[in-house]
Structure 1
Amino acid sequence: MNSYFITGTDTGVGKTLVSAALLHTLARRHPRVVGMKPVAAGRVRHGDGWASEDALALRAASTVEVPPELDNPVLLPDPLSPHIAAERAGVRIDIEHLVSCYRELARRADAVVVEGAGGFHVPLSDSSTGADLAQALALPVVLVVGLRLGCLNHALLTAEAIRARGLLLAGWVANRIDPAMQAQEENIAWLQRQLAAPLLADIAYQDAPDPRAIALHLP
């Protein structure tokens, strides 16, 4: 399998954009690719029901159509930390069930891109986090670094947490989300020296980025 788990230095750093771009990149090599958003907090009207905007973006970049209960098994109404949104909705987030859904997707596709919620250690319940899910999936991890003040600390801490779980940091993406940030080149150069993982893409700031136009250089 050519599958990956996508995490970020924080929420709002471009995980969905990078996940969709990775699906487009993988589709050049594999006929069947599919995205997965195991846990989504926040929903919008879609057709006669509800959907996650992140899940919709991943579906648009996928080449395999699957039931929503597989590619987005947990859809929570409120745009909050998943453990709070789940408690409000009366939902229990079961990591074993999420892994089971991933395995079914892996049977249907040549590659699966799994986008985590929030940062690596985002709480899913009082006893589990996104890191537990990543560890259970045991996929190579791609780290999205949102370039803004404070990102160096967040990137190093996240990389350390990924490796502490015995997972491979397959690479990282620099996403220039703050056009006003100073010394962006110097920050990227420092991270290249410190993260000990390949830089897969350097995404320029755009008001409406197109994931199809982003080339990820996979190792």
Structure 2
Amino acid sequence: MKHLLRSALPLLGHWLLASLPLLLMLAAMHLFLGSLESIDMHWRVHRLEHPDFRRFMDIFTDWGHLPLYFILLWMLVRGWRRGIARDVRYVLTFAVLQAFVGFLLVRMMKIGFGKPRPDTGGLARPITMDPSYHGMPSGHTTESFGAALSAVFGLKRWWLTPLLGCYAAATAFSRVYFSNHDSLDLLMGWLLGSYVAFGAAFLADVRWRNIFRISTWT
């Protein structure tokens, strides 16, 4: 138990530091722009008046995940070449969790909740395949924070943690900017991405082979 707490405390510090840019951004939007509807309208007008910035945000919303995956791929290759089995297990565990949570679970939640996107409006339509009602949660935010936090937990570089947090927050912001999601969708995506990262950090140390052997003996 003491070992678990000792390993969890540094992760909590990195998690808070990496999450701070997103949380501050959402707080600032609500403080200065107001309600969810006011925030959406503000960025709609901004898109029309600033086409260069809109094209810049297109990069984040379309390709924002790739650099994060390249970092994790580098961690996997480095661990493999140096014979660091824990690093290899860690990245592979992340990949499994990211596939399950970031793709399968998020898709099921989107269909189940049926929350309208900001550019759709209206009431929720639970159990729907209409992508216009797949607002909750934000898949981009889940994926970007799942990858960014996993890289943060794997590298444990205090100077790098806020940088990756800002990058993931920018990718998440792009979804609000283009009226695909609102703040609540981003928060849910952030929580799911956090689950991926914490899950990878703790499950990578589980000796599944030993557990399977014990279960077969009993």
TM-score range, shorter chain: under 0.3
- Rg comparison, structure with higher value: 2
TM-score (norm 2): 0.26
TM-score (norm 1): 0.25
